[in-house]
Amino acid sequence: MTRDDMIVCFESAIAACPKIERKGKANPYTSTNGHMFSQINKDDQLGIRLPKPRQDELFAQYDAGPFKSYGATMRDYVCLTNEMIAKPGLVSALLEEGFDFVAAMPPGGKKK
């Protein structure tokens, strides 16, 4: 899948979730409450931040794996497989789960 195709899929999934806003120009991502919860990395992969039990389900069901960005493994992120991305309803549902997951965290942001 090309980067442009990935961005179209990402934007379509976001469009189905009114509470979620796409951010970033060159590197699309989503965030709320001062925490990022999804992004497309430089390798054109989509990662979504989810609670541990949900990560484990997706690892088992779809043979998904951890998400890396700029060589670092992103804590709590799942790297979506092509099979998962081919299901727009699943991607939208996972984005909503990611939103809810980080919205329940203490506010993030720059530390002083």
Residue 111 pLDDT? 54
Residue 88 pLDDT? 87
Contact yes or no for 20/31 (Cβ under 8 A): no
Tokens matching residue 98: 């990611």
Q: Whole-model pTM?
A: 0.94
CA 107 to chain centre: 19
Residue 26 main-chain phi, psi, to 5 deg:
-75, -35
- Find tokens 């942001």 and name the residue: 109
Residue 110 pLDDT? 61
Domains and CATH numbers, the chain: 3-103 (3.30.1460.30)
Q: Please, what are the averages of pLDDT over each run of 10 residues along the chain (112 residues)? A: 92 96 94 96 96 97 96 96 94 98 88 51
Classify strands 65-69 and 46-49 as parallel, antiparallel or unpaired. Answer: unpaired
**What is the tally of helices (H) and strands (E) in the chain?**
4, 5
